[in-house]
């Protein structure tokens, strides 16, 4: 092993938490830099797009792409890096499932445009100026901006993806594991995992959660985190606090649980479900307490009970909306 491999860290519609996650390898980075050169990685290096365009296909061994696909630039970079890379990894929940940027699929482009450039409290825009994909200034200067898409997509909607590393962001432990896989591969010690592998557990978070769980979890009453004292020992669901552990993949070391807050599903679903939100919906509804006089409870009361689960769309699909079955919100001709 004489020559270093090239690694790229490309960005879609990201918050850059995944870039920082890699930086969190701290001293392990030195091991990485012994075998790899960091090439295109806008947070950290000065490699420009034209440099990537000049590379040969497959010159980059591994590309970690984080962020969702929100506009034409995100897609262009995904396709460019796919061409130049041997291995493409959907890194972080946004690239894999859409993440928080995917929540934009709850609304429409027009509404967003109007809100941001007209309605927010500090915006002063009497001339109704809007950013444009092509703009020519009065002096004749031509400027372009990427086109924004109608809906947020995931990385595998636009390119072929080899592996997925989930969470928001991937933990240091996941990165250390990824690093050891890379080092073993570069040093000829081991082959690569099968294509499509997700670097996480196949079980749900409940397996990993350190809290004491009763034989059967039953929600007596649905409670809100803002008004409830949170018991640090008991299962959240048992306390009536919504926790998405049962529907969420394990592998994140239950960090949120350890600081006494319930899971919100950033590891995405396990492989055996079609739809993250749908599976959590079912789990939640199933463990609600059934009274002994249930057959006498009218339908309206059941509806009121289920309304206590606030904002199903934004909560059940917090991180996975673009990868859900329905993917985005629609508009009906008639709403009644």
> Which residues are 153's β-sheet partners?
69
In the complex, the smallest distance separating the C-beta of residue 194 from other proteins, rounded to whole angstroms, is 26
> Residue 48's CB: how many other CB atoms inside 10 A?
11
Asked if residue 53 binds other proteins (CB under 8 A), the reply is no
| 240 conformational bin, left if phi > 0, alpha if psi -120 to 50, beta if neither | left
Please, which of residues 276-305 interact with other proteins by CB under 8 A? 277-279, 281-282, 284-286, 288, 290, 294-295, 297, 299, 302-303, 305
Part in contact with other proteins (CB under 8 A); list of ranges 179-187, 196-204, 207-215, 221-229? 221-229
What is the smallest separation between the CB atom of 198 and other proteins, expressed in angstroms?
19
Residue 50 or 189 with smaller CB distance to other proteins: 50
CA 301, CA 145: separation in Å to the nearest integer? 51
- Asked if 49 interacts with other proteins (CB under 8 A), we say yes
Phi, psi of 105 (to 5 degrees): -70, 0
Nearer to other proteins by Cβ, of 101 and 199: the residue is: 101
> What distance in Å separates the CA atoms of residue 17 and residue 165, rounded to the nearest whole number?
14
| Pair 237, 231: CB distance under 8 Å | no
Span 100-119, contacts to other proteins by CB under 8 A: 100-101, 103-104, 106-119
State the Cα–Cα distance between residues 181 and 336, nearest whole angstrom.
Answer: 55
Place of tokens 């509404």: 111
Q: What is the nearest approach in angstroms of other proteins to the Cβ of residue 90?
A: 16
The nearer residue to other proteins, 1 or 274, going by C-beta atoms, is 274
- Three-state secondary structure call for residue 249: strand
Nearer Cβ to other proteins, position 74 or 85?
74
212 in contact with other proteins (CB under 8 A): no
Interface region with other proteins, contact rule CB under 8 A, candidates 57-65, 78-86, 201-209, 325-333: 325-333
Angle between helices 172-186 and 28-35 (to 10 degrees): 30
**Using the rule CB under 8 A, which residue among 35, 158, 217, 309 binds other proteins?**
309
């Amino acid at each position: 092993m004489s020559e270093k491999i090239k690694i790229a860290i490309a960005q879609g519609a990201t918050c850059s938490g995944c870039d920082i996650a890699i930086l969190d390898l701290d001293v392990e980075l030195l091991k990485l830099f012994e075998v790899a050169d960091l090439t295109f990685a806008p947070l950290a290096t000065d490699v420009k797009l034209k440099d990537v365009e000049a590379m040969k296909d497959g010159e980059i061994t591994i590309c970690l792409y984080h962020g969702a696909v929100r506009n034409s630039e995100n897609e262009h970079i995904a396709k460019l890096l796919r061409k130049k890379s041997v291995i493409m990894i959907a890194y972080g929940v946004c690239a894999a499932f859409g993440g928080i940027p995917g929540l934009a699929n709850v609304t429409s482009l027009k509404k967003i445009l109007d809100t941001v450039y007209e309605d927010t409290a500090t915006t002063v825009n009497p001339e109704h100026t809007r950013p444009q994909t092509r703009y020519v200034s009065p002096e004749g200067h031509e400027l372009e901006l990427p086109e924004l898409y109608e809906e947020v997509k995931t990385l595998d909607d636009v390119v072929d993806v080899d592996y997925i590393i989930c969470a928001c962001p991937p933990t240091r432990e996941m990165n250390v594991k990824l690093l050891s896989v890379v080092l073993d591969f570069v040093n000829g010690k081991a082959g690569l995992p099968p294509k499509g592998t997700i670097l996480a557990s196949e079980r749900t978070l409940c397996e990993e959660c350190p809290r004491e769980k009763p034989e059967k979890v039953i929600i007596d009453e649905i409670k809100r985190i803002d008004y409830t004292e949170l018991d640090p020992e008991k299962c959240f669901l048992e306390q009536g606090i919504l926790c998405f552990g049962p529907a969420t993949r394990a592998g994140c070391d239950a960090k949120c649980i350890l600081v006494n807050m319930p899971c919100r599903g950033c590891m995405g679903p396990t492989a055996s479900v079609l739809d993250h939100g749908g599976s959590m919906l079912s789990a939640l509804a199933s463990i609600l307490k059934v009274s002994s006089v249930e057959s006498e409870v009218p339908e309206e009361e059941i509806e009121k009970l289920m309304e206590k689960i606030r904002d199903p769309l934004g909560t059940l699909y917090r991180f996975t909306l673009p990868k859900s079955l329905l993917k985005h919100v629609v508009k009906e001709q008639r709403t009644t």
